A = this chain, B = another copy of it.
């Protein structure tokens, strides 16, 4: 199966080198490697980016600086504009996973454009894009840190790529589920010892008490190993108390 081409991440006129570094780290966390920066305020390269990149540049993120947003997107065939604010423009508006559906449907190289720390994207830059991506943010506190905005997209990209992240049920390989027979053996062992210890009282309540215990245990979907472990604890409690007493009597 062909993987879709990775979207390019474009930062429009970013201000802080720190945010460029954090963006690179965020991208690489989810396997994105092509970063373009359009008219960075403090130029490029920028030593302030290094510490926050946490090694992302060495580990594979490439950064290319351009003089303008227009130059940075010139070779791209489909662009998504990331912006928290609704705009009066006739463009599709979607969230991160919707944007990824649009991006992966393209046959050309694609990109996502993020605005800068102070103003976000200008209307002129949004006008260059094919669709608008907006996150379901708190309207009273809508301003995301730049790299945070990038990682929300990158994580959705990772999700879409690696469906293996979906529900896997249990952690694989830790143990085989216990058979019903093993569970029943465990219950009978437990109940026998409880009976011997005088737990079931009054006797007419015994069936209900047993059923409630069994229900609680069944719900955990224990493995064979867990059943053996629990039987070990029952044995220890049933016998060990005697040992402890003997020791104390020594």
Most buried by B among A92, A142, A151: A151
Asked if A245 and B244 make an inter-chain contact with CB atoms under 8 angstroms apart, the answer reads no
Interface-side segment among A28-36, A42-50, A64-72, A107-115: A28-36
CB-defined contacts of A239 to chain B, threshold 8 Å: 197, 241
Would you give the 0/1 interface string for A209-233, flagging 1 where the beta carbon is closer than 8 Å to chain B? 1001100110111110110011011
Chain B residue at smallest Cβ distance from A158: B136
| Cα(A145)–Cα(B91), bound, Å | 33
CB distance from A200 to the nearest CB of B (A): 9
Question: Are A226 and B241 touching (Cβ within 8 A)?
Answer: no
Say whether, besides A236-B194, A236-B198, A95 and B56 are in contact (CB < 8 Å): no
Complex Cα spacing A222 to B218, Å: 11
Judged by a CB distance under 8 angstroms, whether A119 is at the interface is no
Q: Max chain B CB contacts within 10 Å: which of A31, A137, A138? A: A138
A219: B residues at CB distance < 8 A: 219-222
Q: Is the CB of B136 within 8 A of A159?
A: yes
Question: Are B166 and A98 touching (Cβ within 8 A)?
Answer: yes
- Are B94 and A167 in contact, CB atoms less than 8 angstroms apart? yes
In the complex, besides A90-B223, A98-B167, A242-B245, 19 extra interface pairs with C-beta distance below 8 angstroms are A25-B141, A26-B145, A30-B137, A31-B138, A59-B140, A86-B171, A87-B171, A88-B174, A90-B175, A90-B226, A91-B171, A94-B168, A95-B166, A136-B165, A147-B148, A190-B233, A199-B237, A213-B230, A219-B220
